[in-house]
Amino acid sequence: MRTFTHLYDDYAEAEQTVQALEAAGVPHSDISIVGNNVDDRHASTGRTATTGTTAGTVAHDAIAHDGEPNRAATGATTGTLVGTGVGLLTGLGLLAIPGVGPVVAAGWLVATVTGAGIGAAGGGLLGSLVHAGVPEEHAHAYAEGVRRGGTLVSVRGDDSQAVTIEEILAGRQVRAVDLDTRRADFRTGGWDRFDETSPHYTAEQLDAERRRRV
């Protein structure tokens, strides 16, 4: 099995990509989505937590008062959102990732992000991507992309599925981020690599970053 990963600036485009993958017959168990939710934008779209806690409360509780991820909440799924479509997107969960902050996520990657199955040292977004076979240089850029407001879609598949998966991820109407261009853009600001000990972006910083890319 290989891992195919692409980054999207627009969460809605990542959702469309997941739906296209499912329509093409890719099993839900082989698809993952991780989207930045620091600004609580997904909790305010009418979705509610199925655990008895509102999604907005879950996202808030994942962050300590000093703006850092709450280590007690980090790495644990703290709520499940009801998605607008069928399949993978109906099981979105809320969790906090070191260096990224609150995210909405679903799929096989969630278990490795939380350290399950590979040990706590292998957890976190960067460690989970590398463990899945993503080259480390790419994994750093992908993790930083999520930190700056993006959404990651990762798919497991064999060589016989490679062309179909890559065509859907790269997109026709939906366009994925060009990773080399985005990495170069990060580096113009002095960035070198993703650091999960760094503070996550605030909602205001995310808004400025997103407007800069329009």
Give dist(CA 180, CA 191) in Å, integer. Answer: 14
One-letter-per-residue 3-state SS of 127-157: HHHHHCCCCHHHHHHHHHHHHCCCEEEEEEE
**pTM listed for this prediction:** 0.80
Name the pLDDT band for 171 (thresholds 50, 70, 90). Answer: confident
Segment 92-138, tens digit of pLDDT: 999 999 999 999 999 999 988 876 544 444 568 999 999 999 999 99
Using alpha carbons, select from 52, 18, 22 the residue that is nearest to residue 35.
18
Question: Residue 182 pLDDT more than 60?
Answer: yes
How high is the pLDDT of residue 116? Answer: 54
Using alpha carbons, select from 90, 81, 87 the residue that is nearest to residue 50.
81
Looking at the structure of the chain, the number of domains it has is: 1
Q: Provide the residue type at 134 as one letter.
A: V
Q: Provide the residue type at 24 as one letter.
A: A
How high is the pLDDT of residue 115? Answer: 63
H/E stretch holding 16: helix 11-23
Print the domain residue range for 76: 2-213
Segment 4-40, tens digit of pLDDT: 999 999 999 999 999 999 999 999 999 999 999 999 8
Give dist(CA 9, CA 175) in Å, integer. Answer: 9
Name the pLDDT band for 184 (thresholds 50, 70, 90). Answer: very high
How high is the pLDDT of residue 214? Answer: 76
Average pLDDT value for the chain? 80
